């Protein structure tokens, strides 16, 4: 989609068009529909199935999760491409924003797949708790990711608010190595106006501050993921080199 | 960056489905 340039502050019509476009992009690129997740909410892994995951070797489970994570990232790439103005950015800046932001958006989106009533997440077609991921050998990362999902769910965002927040996470002019920071800044500024407009309309202005607080948590979770990957790749360099998805390696190693 | 991110670059080049 084209990004219509307009004077600042943007007109109400422009804000509403931008909001609609982001919401549509989010809906069209979500890996799972909310109704689908809701219907499967109590489809839990059996004891035997959990045991099978826990019996996988560290490298087997890392590979399995790297494949799942890469699938989720691919949907985020599609989302980014449909954010008005994103494709108008230089290729370097598109890559930079996705390299630094795709995992953050995956984590935000993960909260849609989370059941707070029993602390389980949708994975491989069923819901499972942190115990499912035991063989990864990074319990602290998993607990931190689940805690984050809990805190996101507590905000009870609508799909529209979630869509806007995901676009804000991605379109971040503070990322290092951007060539046209000004252009990213202008996109970001309009998205911020959209979020304020939406929260005002929903009478939930207090959410704005809470959402901006999540940004630093996201960044620390991503650092922890890269730290764990570094630890893993030192122990299993061949696994990373030969069987991890190429996109995962490009983004995270 | 394009050279180091060939897969991502290709995904970005593909038209949206």
Per-residue pLDDT of chain A (253 residues; tens, 9 = 90+): 455 556 677 788 889 999 999 999 999 999 999 999 999 999 999 999 999 999 999 999 999 999 999 999 999 999 999 999 999 999 999 999 999 999 999 999 999 999 999 999 999 999 999 999 999 999 999 999 999 999 999 999 999 999 999 999 999 999 999 999 999 999 999 999 999 999 999 999 999 999 999 999 999 999 999 999 999 999 999 999 999 999 999 999 8
Q: Residues A248, A150, A97, A16: is their CA dihedral positive or negative? A: positive
- Check CB contact under 8 Å for B5 and A77: no
A246: which chain B residues are within 8 Å (Cβ-Cβ)? 7
Q: Where are the beta strands (DSSP E) in chain A?
A: 114-115, 120-123, 126-128
Q: In three state form, how does the secondary structure of A177-229 look?
A: CCCCHHHHHHHHHHHHHHHHHHHHHCCCCCHHHHHHHHHHHHHHHHHHHHHHH
Question: Do the beta carbons of residue A75 and residue A67 sit within 8 Å?
Answer: no
- Check CB contact under 8 Å for B16 and A78: yes
Please state the separation of Cα A186 from the chain's center in Å. 22
């Amino acid at each position: 989609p084209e990004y219509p340039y307009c004077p600042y502050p943007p007109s109400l019509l422009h804000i509403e068009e931008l909001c609609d476009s982001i919401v549509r992009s989010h809906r069209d690129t979500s890996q799972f529909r909310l109704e689908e997740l809701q219907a499967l909410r109590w489809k839990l892994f059996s004891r035997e199935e959990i045991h099978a995951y826990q019996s996988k070797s560290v490298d087997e489970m890392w590979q399995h999760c790297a494949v799942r994570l890469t699938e989720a990232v691919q949907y985020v790439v599609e989302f980014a491409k449909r954010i008005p103005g994103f494709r108008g950015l230089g290729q370097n800046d598109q890559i930079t924003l996705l390299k630094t932001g795709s995992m953050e958006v995956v984590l935000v989106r993960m909260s849609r797949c989370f059941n707070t009533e029993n602390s389980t997440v949708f994975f491989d077609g069923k819901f499972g708790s942190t115990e499912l991921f035991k063989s990864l050998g990074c319990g602290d990362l998993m607990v931190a990711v689940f805690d984050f999902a809990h805190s996101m769910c507590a905000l009870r965002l609508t799909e529209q608010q979630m869509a806007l927040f995901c676009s804000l996470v991605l379109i971040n002019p503070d990322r290092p190595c951007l060539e046209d920071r000004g252009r990213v800044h202008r996109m970001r500024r309009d998205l911020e106006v959209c979020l304020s407009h939406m929260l005002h309309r929903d009478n939930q202005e207090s959410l704005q501050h809470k959402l901006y607080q999540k940004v630093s948590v996201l960044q620390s979770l991503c650092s922890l993921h890269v730290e764990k990957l570094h630890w893993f790749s030192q122990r299993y360099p061949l696994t990373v080199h030969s069987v991890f998805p190429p996109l995962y390696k490009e983004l995270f190693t | 960056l394009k050279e180091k991110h060939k897969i991502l670059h290709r995904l970005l080049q593909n038209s949206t489905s």
